[in-house]
Amino acid sequence: MSGLFITFEGPEGSGKSTHSNELAERLRSMGYEVLKAREPGGTPTGEAIREILQHDSVGEPIVRETEILLFAASRAQLVQRVIKPALARGCVVICDRFADSTTAYQGYGRDFDVERVLNLNEWATDGLAPDATLLMDLDVGIGFERIHQRNLALDQGEDRFEREARAFHERVRQGYLVLAERWPERFHVIQSEASVDAVSTEVWRVVEPLLSAVGGGRPADED
């Protein structure tokens, strides 16, 4: 495949959406063809699954196995219908969460067998792994405070995951760090406590050298 596949991962409120959106805009303004997707979602089927997973829309508790399979189903649809075709066209694909979220949340967070989750991910993604994963690492308490402020500003309530206990989110954060140690070539840990501008600079430091693999852009200092 000729494109470039970048994912943003990390605990709640760590800046995934802020920085994945900003990176997508930056690359577009440089002339790259960018495909931005969010997980779960990104396809009509995936968005319907997102509604079930984030907002309790079915009105019953979702068991662990069902939760994992719903995430995997949304991802399979996204990979085959959207991501792989975009990479084949030479796009930069940027995903706000991907398979590592399932390993961190459903594996480490819910104390499910991590190796089984990894196997399921492999199956659902048809073996597709990101070229680079930016792990936005942040103290859980600071992430919660940021989300609280964001929800207040947007006048929205907490979703199903934001209501989970603090210990759950600590396990998620530590789980991500274990994954980053296991795949050091793919993972780039970004300290996300700094200002938005400082974090953006770090994100760019990681991404810029990867762009030589894709065509279509032009140097940032050209008009």
Ligand X SMILES: Nc1ncnc2c1ncn2[C@@H]1O[C@H](COP(=O)(O)OP(=O)(O)OP(=O)(O)O)[C@@H](O)[C@H]1O
Q: Which residues bind ligand X (CB under 6 A)?
A: 10, 12-18, 146-147, 149-150, 192, 194-196, 199
* Identity of the residue, 12 or 131, whose beta carbon is nearer to ligand X in the bound complex: 12
* Identity of the residue, 116 or 205, whose beta carbon is nearer to ligand X in the bound complex: 205
CB of 203 to ligand X, least distance (A): 11
CB of 88 to ligand X, least distance (A): 28
Extract the tokens encoding 49: 């699954």
* Identity of the residue, 88 or 167, whose beta carbon is nearer to ligand X in the bound complex: 167
Considering only 16-24, 148-156, 163-171, 184-192, which stretch makes contact with Mg ion by CB under 5 A? 16-24
**Residue 17 touches Mg ion, criterion: CB under 5 A:** yes
Q: How far apart are CA 13 and CA 169, in angstroms?
A: 11
CB of 18 to ligand X, least distance (A): 3
Cβ-count burial 64-76 (b if 16+ within 10 Å, e if not) = eeebbebbbebbb
Distant-in-sequence, close-in-space partners of 223: CB < 8 Å, separation ≥ 6: none
CB of 176 to ligand X, least distance (A): 12
* Identity of the residue, 87 or 136, whose beta carbon is nearer to ligand X in the bound complex: 136
Please check whether residue 40 is in contact with residue 75, taking contact to mean a CB–CB distance below 8 angstroms: yes
Extract the tokens encoding 67: 């939760």
CB of 6 to Mg ion, least distance (A): 15
Q: How far apart are CA 220 and CA 31, in angstroms?
A: 10
Q: How far apart are CA 168 and CA 11, in angstroms?
A: 10
Residues near Mg ion (CB under 5 A) are: 16-17
